[in-house]
Structure 1
């Protein structure tokens, strides 16, 4: 969820090396570090997820003109922005090619963005420690993943999966850093189409690799600017972790019994939609 634009001067986006084909391909942009095509993942039956169908991303507000042109070449059918209005105001609106529809589908982050922003803007190391130190940042993240199960959030997560079942070219979905709400949708969708849990989890955790350089640069910048004496307090908010994902996975079992019932009773996907999702995204 944590991006840099709201809290510090713009930093150059690091550009990680391209992923090997067939493992969820990174799409490199100058103004975004965590944009990926979810094609190329093996499923239980030996098939692979299709490329050019589902793209997970971070906010697209900092795309360059060249990035926008590159995005146009991906033939994106719809962009689904999961950010809250506060996040959009702080980070900026997406920069998109002409004619690409933008769907605003705000999924609340349980106040995570506001708490992070308040801590940074205080410029007070004592207050920052009180707000984020001693496990409090980790608890903010765990509470956010619990909030994925409100009726409003479930409805919006479910609608996004339905969009992926009906995409002709590519549907791109994103939040701010492209790691939590976006990561959960990616995890859900990959599992729903038959990708093993371990592979779906690995995709979720890869955000740490792609965001590491930009996140570290932001922390350094905040320290140099005198905004944060201990910017490492932000690390639990910047990262994805097994323990965060496990909060949501465990709630799936506690509330619905198993993943299949979560898809139908939690996300509102009927059997026909699930079959269509698999047919559309796997081949």
Structure 2
């Protein structure tokens, strides 16, 4: 089986349920100019607590670099399983309010914390630096890469949304792709909500569910922060992340067929 055909068939990993091809989970998304995105350029995922079989699958896909966007604490608590042939790089997205996320009083507070997370992707220098490095290295990569955070939802979802926008995918499709986490990771979410019930009580399930889902309001909060600071997403990529026109052109060309 070729890497390309494997990439088409490998929609899910049993031990990383939010793993998928950046270009789309099934068939490739199509840019505004009619060009399909290339398969197998980049993959997105939740944390890589991988089974042996799934390690072998990533190896067969030819993944040559893994970019971990999590905090130091998250990496120490759940280190990625090593994938042979793939260099591991830690690019911590700074500014995630972990204390606020872990101590939520009510649903409204949880929702506001998540809006704050996405605004931070734009407003916090240490977050912008991580995304800038990720995109620059994706531009220069010779083979497939994988980037991920813990749930593959927020930091990963923001990076994926920006890359799809740069490639010319329309906003409705980008939002649909972003929200796929809610179906792909439903079993994982229910598992963690079960732990919330056990340790914090049933009344906290509705509260913590807000930080475990992808929500259009969250993505929009990031977009709004971009508009306020940089005018549009291209301005954010150019001025906020410091990616020059040549780099952006190469990155766009790398993603398009």
Contact 1:58 1:174 in 2 (8 A): yes
- SS of 2:61's equivalent in the other structure is coil
Q: Deviations over 1:78-108 (max 9, x none)?
A: 1000000111122x11112223100001112
- SS of 1:76's equivalent in the other structure is coil
Contact 2:68 2:88 in 1 (8 A): yes
Distance 1:25 1:200 in 2: 22
Give the one of 30, 42, 46 matched to 1:54.
Answer: 42
Distance 1:275 1:194 in 2: 12
| Residue 202 of structure 2: aligned partner | 229
| Runs of 4+ more than 6 Å apart | none
Q: Deviations over 1:10-62 (max 9, x none)?
A: xxxxxxxxxxx9xx9873122111001022111000001111101011100x2
Compared CA separation, residues 109 and 241, structure 1 to 2 (3 A): farther
Aligned ranges 1:1-283 → 2 under 5 Å? 27-39=11-23, 40-60=28-48, 62-90=49-77, 92-112=78-98, 114-117=99-102, 119=103, 131-149=104-122, 150-223=124-197, 225-230=198-203, 231-283=205-257
Q: CA deviation at 1:257?
A: 1.3
TM-score (norm 2): 0.89
TM-score (norm 1): 0.81
Unpaired stretches in structure 1, ≥5 consecutive residues = 1-20, 120-130
| Residue 10 of structure 1: aligned partner | none
Distance 1:25 1:107 in 2: 31
Structure showing the higher helix proportion among its residues? 2
Distance 1:250 1:159 in 2: 23
Unpaired stretches in structure 2, ≥5 consecutive residues = none
Contact 1:157 1:267 in 2 (8 A): yes
Distance 1:73 1:134 in 2: 43
- Note the aligned Cα RMSD (angstroms): 1.9
- SS of 2:150's equivalent in the other structure is coil
